[in-house]
Structure 1
């Protein structure tokens, strides 16, 4: 009963609380335009100030130029002459496994090497001439080279694609950023040539090492075959001497006229040969 009375009492006070008026979210465009029109001078002044600031910053900040190159694995036509050379080596039973994809992956691996990039920058006459003009010490030179190496980029063009999305071909974008367009292009092209030379040198060195190992193996095998042949020849000569001594001791001067089955057949003579035949074989 008490709960029923409370409910009735609370319902009686509902008219004392007025409903909230719905909020008005509409924007008066005409009023907004009129406000902006009245403040047009202020708006134009702010826009002009930002434009001048952007123009001033563009002149103050150093300009940056980026040179980019897109590289792809070599085409089969470009690999044809090298395959002919590899075929000649495979005839010699030399295991040569250098394909287009492997060579391209080796190029990208070396291009991304920080140590090789620093080595190139230190050996590049163009880069060193630019740094020597600043007259910096060895520590500052190292810092400058590290800063330059951070501007060299290699990006996989297929990295942004989804895993289930097929790619038409493999390509990487190589880029370098420098204060001038000439410097960016010179450093990038020089580094690409530098890495290409290293890839060719390493590939040829691997082929030479395999060829040297194969040659050494064949030499050792030939030496073993010579020893084996010499031992076999010495054994045959010794056996021939024993047979000759037996024939002399037995007084055999002429061959037997009867058919006797030989006790042992050797590649040099018959055991029951006569002395004259043995002497002829010995000669």
Structure 2
């Protein structure tokens, strides 16, 4: 058989096939309509899915609010050379980022969420409830970082949540971001309070030790003066300016020709204090008993730090508003369904029904079930 004859036969077969299909066009149309109706029933009864999206980045100084002020004041008071605004922002956002990805945080959020409790009531068995929660954690609530290889200019962290209504998606996603933020802020505040309290306790102890040291020094000084006074009384030394042999005063005898300063001479030693005489020693004792204790410079430095840190502690113990993130785009209100795509489902259903109708007609024709 020549090629022309084969082509002619193929043409005849194709025409016959078209004739058969055209003859059964009503059956094919009914099949297409039937499947379109089935697709429509599914499209209008299936659970809808909507998705809200958001993007967050590192916070601004204004986002940190009171927490930034407390950290900066604390660093200034203690003289922390390593404190910078950039390091604080980086540390806070790093904690927030890690928490966003945490499955435990996601579960904690849903377990206290009214939306989750209401949705969970639709599932009767424990296994179905567990599957519902697993889908929420793994599929519905997603947190991703952009691929810098594909988009080098991308910044921030992307979040999305899918649910059956647009409002639910937006509310739940907002709620999750706020929940994680509050947890991070509370942890940061707790750590800061612990460091601050330890610093105050340490400084308080230092102040007490310095005060005790000054009090002991004064006590020893008074004891030395009293002992010297008793010795001076016993020795009959009334006045340190009295002459020895009628020519030289006692201090001059002790200082010698070199004229050594009094504080460097033997008269400053408790052993030789009696040589100053009763009158001088009694005056010293009277003044020391009346005068307030003069503490060391370190004591007053510690006291000043404490007076500045204690107000910070009181402010830190109060509730504070602080954000550990900044929205590049806040959770949106979705305006287009993810699923079901009703128009597409209707078209697919009709096309599939038509194809299956054609196949059914051709099978019947091949099997000889109907005449041409």
Structure 1 length normalisation: TM-score? 0.72
2:278 corresponds to: 275
| Unaligned ranges ≥5, structure 2 | 1-6, 256-264, 287-372
Residues 179-233 of structure 1 deviation map (CA, whole Å, 9 limit, x = unaligned): 2222222211111111111121112112111111111111111121122222212
- The verdict on how the C-alpha distance between 1:200 and 1:79 changes in structure 2, with shifts beyond 3 A counting, is closer
Alpha carbons 2:237, 2:275 under 8 Å: kept:
no
CA distance in 2, matches of 1:235, 1:139: 80
| Counterpart check, 1:244 vs 2:208 | no
Deviation of 1:272 after TM superposition, in Å, equals 2.3
- The verdict on how the C-alpha distance between 1:169 and 1:277 changes in structure 2, with shifts beyond 3 A counting, is farther
1:100 corresponds to: 89
* Structure with the higher fraction of residues in helix conformation: 2
1:209 corresponds to: 194
Deviation of 1:173 after TM superposition, in Å, equals 0.7
CA distance in 2, matches of 1:245, 1:169: 87
Alpha carbons 2:267, 2:276 under 8 Å: kept:
no
| Counterpart check, 1:120 vs 2:105 | no
Mapping for residues 255-266 of structure 1, pairs under 5 Å: 255=240, 256-257=242-243, 258=248, 259-260=252-253, 261=255, 262-265=265-268
| Unaligned ranges ≥5, structure 1 | 1-27
Q: State the structure with bigger RCO (CA 8 A, min sep 6), 1 or 2.
A: 2
CA distance in 2, matches of 1:76, 1:138: 46
| Counterpart check, 1:64 vs 2:49 | yes
Alpha carbons 2:148, 2:154 under 8 Å: kept:
no
| Counterpart check, 1:229 vs 2:178 | no
1:193 corresponds to: 178
Q: What is the CA RMSD across the aligned residues, in angstroms?
A: 3.7
Alpha carbons 2:228, 2:273 under 8 Å: kept:
no
2:327 corresponds to: none
Deviation of 1:108 after TM superposition, in Å, equals 1.7
| Counterpart check, 1:161 vs 2:148 | yes
CA distance in 1, matches of 2:76, 2:103: 39
Count of aligned residue pairs for this structure pair = 246
